[in-house]
Amino acid sequence: MFLKRIELQGFKSFADKSVITFDSDVIGIVGPNGCGKSNINDAIRWVLGEQSVKSLRGSSMSDVIFSGSQQRKAVNMAEVTLVFDNSKHFLNIDYEEVEVTRRLHRISGEGEYFINQTPCRLKDILNLVMDTGLGKDSLSIISQGNISSFAEAKPEDRRALFEEAAGVAKYKKRKNDSLNK
C-alpha cells in the first residue's frame, strides 16, 4: 500500500483531528451526500500542491479551513498530512516512510509545507512528486468529471497528461526554468 494514511485537522468538514488508514489495496469510502467523501480527495490534491481554488470547490483558499457548524466554532488553521510507504523508493528521498504536510493559517493567509516534519517550499513537494504519477494533475487522481474533460481536452492539454505519465514533465520544466532565467 503506497498511500498509508491521511491525517486531517481543520480541513473543510474535518474539524477535529481525523486519521484515515488505508490498509488494503481497494478501499471504498461510502456515506450520505455531503458527508465529506470528496473533501478527502480535495485534501489529497491540496497537499500535493493544488493551488486552484476552483478545483478545490471554493471561492478563496481559506475556504478549505473548517468554517464552523451548528455545533462547532470555525477554526483558524487547516492541516493535512499524507503518509506514504516509500520502502520501494518510489519517491526520490532516502526514507522508508515519507510524510508530506500542508498547513494554511486563516488570519495571516500564510501557508506552510513540510516533508517529514521539516519545513520546505511548495516547490520541494512538487519536485518530490513530479513524474511519479502522484502529482495533483496526474492520472492517479481521477475526480468526478475528469474523464469527460480528458476526452474533450485540447490536444496540447491531453499531451501534458501523457508527458506526466511518461515521466518527461520534469525535464520540460527544467528546460523552461533555465530558458526563463
Q: What does the binding site for ligand ATP look like in residue numbers (CB under 6 A)?
A: 12-13, 31, 33-39, 63, 65-67
> Which of residues 37 and 170 has its CB atom nearest to Mg ion in the complex?
37
Alpha helices (runs of H) in 48-152, residue ranges in sequence order: 122-129, 146-152
Residue 132 binding partner per list ligand ATP, Mg ion, none, with a CB distance cut-off of 5 to 8 Å that depends on partner kind = none
Through-space distance between the first and last CA atoms of the chain, rounded to whole angstroms: 40
34 is in an annotated binding site: yes
Residue 35 binding partner per list Mg ion, ligand ATP, none, with a CB distance cut-off of 5 to 8 Å that depends on partner kind = ligand ATP
8 Å CB contact between 43 and 12: yes
Residue 12 binding partner per list ligand ATP, Mg ion, none, with a CB distance cut-off of 5 to 8 Å that depends on partner kind = ligand ATP
Q: Could you tell me the smallest distance in angstroms from the CB atom of residue 14 to ligand ATP? A: 8
8 Å CB contact between 19 and 25: no
> Which of residues 22 and 90 has its CB atom nearest to ligand ATP in the complex?
22
8 Å CB contact between 69 and 15: yes
Binding site for Mg ion (CB under 5 A): 37-38
Residue type, 132: T
38 is in an annotated binding site: yes
Q: What is the distance between the alpha carbons of residues 163 and 161, in angstroms, rounded to a whole number?
A: 5
> Which of residues 78 and 128 has its CB atom nearest to ligand ATP in the complex?
78
> Which of residues 36 and 133 has its CB atom nearest to ligand ATP in the complex?
36
37 contact partners, CB below 8 Å, separation of at least 6: 29, 30, 31
Show binding-site residues for ATP: 32-39
